[in-house]
Structure 1
């Protein structure tokens, strides 16, 4: 069983699908079904595992695709133990009703009767409103859609930030808008490979975006039931100017995206020149004096074991429980964890390594940008 995102199915003795589930890490998630049985855990799950004689799984390229595939398989097989898990009228669906300018909406199962057969494309069931909302949020970055009125005279807010193709100001024809919605429908149907092939000819930029989906906002800890979103990630790097001044750079990712309004630069005051460990300790200490700033869900450090140890001590001395890790360039971008880090957290971090590397690189870029800007100021440029 691989340490990758994907979907798994438990089958009964007649090859019937008993249960469909998904995981950020298939190996860890599937193994959890066979721990602490038969006395622990959900009785419904114990019953299902007792009846299962076979298991199948499918690896997906990312976490987002595992949610989409899970929903499509539940819809296809309607497994007994998925339905037992929840009243089918309370499941969540994404609905795109046929219209001149269609737009996705999120609805509960009890609302499906409002959409007669053939009047809408329906995707789901999803297990929570949050999951469906995050899927649409990610999809909209690639396939912008409108929730405004056609030709309303002035551009809507979403048009100004690139999430609306512009029906509000007549910037897109009805035909081209529908083509974009059709691509969104293919995406939600799990037809990613077919869609990439199609877009490679029609819109190479969209095809590239589809290949490199940023879905960190969907990373969850399956052991925590509904899951906990890794919403705020902070990454740190140290930069020097002319061997005299040292700066600590802090960047923030919110929901997997750069949140540049939250970036901060700390001019190091007490650490000796060229002592990166002392500068890093000072940066972290000063950051956590700001109680008014949102607390991070994860701290990423550009560095190896010495840097991780230094930051761990600062966090421990200040009774800060935020998980952290380092990324070592010398170790081919190996993830370095503090002593005692839970294996489940390490596996979650490995599964989301791409976003962690992006954060590390962005911290390095921001630190160097600040150094170059200071140099220009000193030179009068």
Structure 2
């Protein structure tokens, strides 16, 4: 198979999402960076008949040996990332972005009594706040005009030293409060600056809540002009606020670590963000990656930063590492300043972490699930081993798990085309089976899962794999027979010796240790088990946190859940102000919460 054909196969498996694609030569040198709204469609366009391609594309494909992609949240983010990568690496086949033009930022000056908002091309570490980059530049200019029109904060470079005697035209147009001539005091001007900051940071709800309160107060005081101004602000914020996940709110250096793990193999994606932009991306792969996710992340961080030339001030992780406090202390020693390790749960950092996670998943698939030809051969070998009529391309696995016999849950994972279909994973809370009765639980799970597929006339799997032995297999067969699909192939896989139990066969089949078929079924079964354990861990954590908050008088399960959803953790509730607590649970319960944690500290 030619090199172009191999690259085309890679392109055909790309996702239908925005991102950047990178062509490299045999030595790993970057040849070309491009952006796309739809990665698969755009990259496949390079592999049309060569005679229809421009000379540059033919030359690129002649030298290209590797194809990589970086997923982003939008086409705008892809454009920003493309610009950053081209400026850093200057690939041979990129010509359009080699100039030194930068996308604009909005700077909010913080070191003067009357801060102003101005447009700049380069952010700096000077104590001011920078927002952006904005693409196209007209978005930045439009935002600046909106700030002048509605917030009336200064957007010029005029001196505020008292030398000016008359305000400029912007004041006459009611687009500036004229601090340059002393027409406004620091307190009301500071309020306007705070609103601008909330607006630029994309904190829509917080800004809207404050504006609504001020509008209501102005209306109650019969200050209808002020009430109308707050109303207009509310409408403007809703219409024109714009956020970009690739652009950091601040300019502090920060790294993102995201892990994707299935069975005993894992991929780790690391994005380094410098001055608000992604500067580099690295991927690492691990086989035989046993143990807990937290231990894995701890090892990844310690190994990476033991040789990394720079330790940033903030490290965001998809999974909290074990010994996070010790790691922070060690990293602070290497950096010479404090380092924070955080697992973001909301906001812009959570959005960006989702992008890094998706890149880690794609990297895992390209490394561990991309040898498609081998996968086809393994599935064919599985058909022969089990004596199936057709090669199973869609396999579903069921696992029963519980906590000390209670809270029994069935997990269903779906494997199709040699890859996990995570969007089709399901969990079923077992209702009728007695605690600890795994056979009855398996029968209920199979009946509910495939009863629904039969009722909705959806596709049934080619093979059902249940975790367990002969008892679980018999329970699954009984449930399928009652549904009228007793001919659906089903097997059981026991954990201890990885033996396969087949219908109508007394003795289990023990596969050779290194047989690809054994690795396949074990991997699918382990994925179902991992999915079940993850669900139980989350459930146990929620129950523990909920129980702790329910010790406060006036808080039941519902209010506990509301507090955790709003503040993220018990620690977040503990640190919340009286006003923020009141907004969730009312003044009486808010006072009880504050009193509870005050007693805890004393």
Q: TM-score range by the shorter chain?
A: 0.3 to 0.5
Q: Which has the higher contact order (CA 8 A, sep 6+)?
A: 1
Q: Return the index of the structure with the highest Cα Rg.
A: 2
> What's the TM-score, normalizing by structure 1?
0.45
> What's the TM-score, normalizing by structure 2?
0.30
